[in-house]
Chains A and B, each alone.
Chain A
Amino acid sequence: MEPTLSQYLLVSGALFAIGLLGVIVRRNLLIIYMSLELMLNAANVALVAMSRFNEKAETALDGQVMVFFIITVAAAEVSVGLALIVALYRKRQTTDVADLATMKL
């Protein structure tokens, strides 16, 4: 039996919820960053599923084009974010957000 749109959306929602939980609960900056990636990928799954079940032929691939752009932007975001984490670690010698509570360097 072919899986339905709501099943795909459910997987996407579960993935997003897990990512959000990671951002809220975990305190290691790198793990928080990985959870952000999970949330972005949840959006990607939802977009591709919507594109697959879109019935208008002329806009059928728009969801996949959007995912293409999201992947590119996410790659740029990861590189900048990890550079920030490395710069922060040089100053403070920690990646625990509980130790990074002040804005003073």
Chain B
Amino acid sequence: MEGTLFNIFAGLTVLSALLVVANPFSRNPVTSALFLVTTMISISGLFVLLGAYFLAAVQILVYAGAVMVLFLFVIMLLDLREAARRKLNLVSLAMGIMAVGALFSVYKSSIESKYGEASQQQEVAADTGQAAAKVVGSTRALGQALFSGDNGFILPFEIVSILLLVAMVGVILLSRKEPR
């Protein structure tokens, strides 16, 4: 059951991410933005499978909600017409695909050498009923991890809130009509 759901969400994530970057049917940025929403929602499905329930909700609220509304708002504000298909620079395209493919294959082989066997051992442990207790990121648990005890994250939390304030002031300053 979990494996099936993982396959569905992982496939949907990768497929819609591909459609964000290279959509064969449309060059309209709005299409890319809507596929980005699909990607975010399937990533939050992966979070649910990983037991991170609070983060799954935040992912949908912040990314699929706030960030994507901002993206769509800017796309429509700029009134981008469907960009004329320029001649693709085939050399740069091939070089980009090669570089990214090389990077991904290095990453893949390093994962397999580091975690391939370890995860197989974990499967054996799960079969014999000795699996590690499942970490559950419910709202309560995450809140306690954030705010409680000596190793809480109160200072980073406050710093992030100041960062959000700075970003807000900066956006207002940047988007004034006549910046002096």
A69-90 interface bits toward B, Cβ cutoff 8 Å, 1 = contact, 0 = none: 1011111111110111111010
In this complex, the interface size class of chain B, counting residues with CB under 8 Å from chain A, is 35 or more
Q: Which of B49, B52, B99, B103 touches A64 (beta carbons < 8 Å)? A: B52
Interface SS majority for chain B: helix
Q: How many A-B residue pairs have CB under 8 A?
A: 224
The answer to whether B135 touches A1 (Cβ under 8 A) is no
B-chain residues with CB within 8 Å of residue A25 when the two chains form the complex: 21-22, 92-93, 96-97
Q: Which B17-54 residues sit within 8 Å CB-CB of chain A? A: 17-18, 20-22, 29, 32-33, 36, 39-40, 43, 46-47, 49-52, 54
Q: Which of B6, B36, B108 touches A34 (beta carbons < 8 Å)? A: B36
Q: Does B179 contact A (CB under 8 A)?
A: yes
The answer to whether B66 touches A75 (Cβ under 8 A) is yes
Interface SS majority for chain A: helix
B-chain residues with CB within 8 Å of residue A82 when the two chains form the complex: 70-71, 74
A26–B40 alpha-carbon span in the complex (Å): 20
A contact set with B: CB distance below 8 Å: 1-11, 13-22, 24-28, 30-31, 33-35, 37-38, 41, 44-45, 48-49, 51-55, 57-58, 60-62, 64-65, 67-69, 71-80, 82-87, 89, 95-96
Interchain residue pairs with CB less than 8 A apart (10): A2-B2, A4-B122, A6-B115, A15-B14, A17-B101, A27-B86, A30-B80, A41-B63, A86-B78, A87-B175
6 A-B pairs with the lowest CB-CB distances in the bound complex, closest first: A76-B167, A4-B119, A22-B21, A24-B96, A61-B145, A3-B6
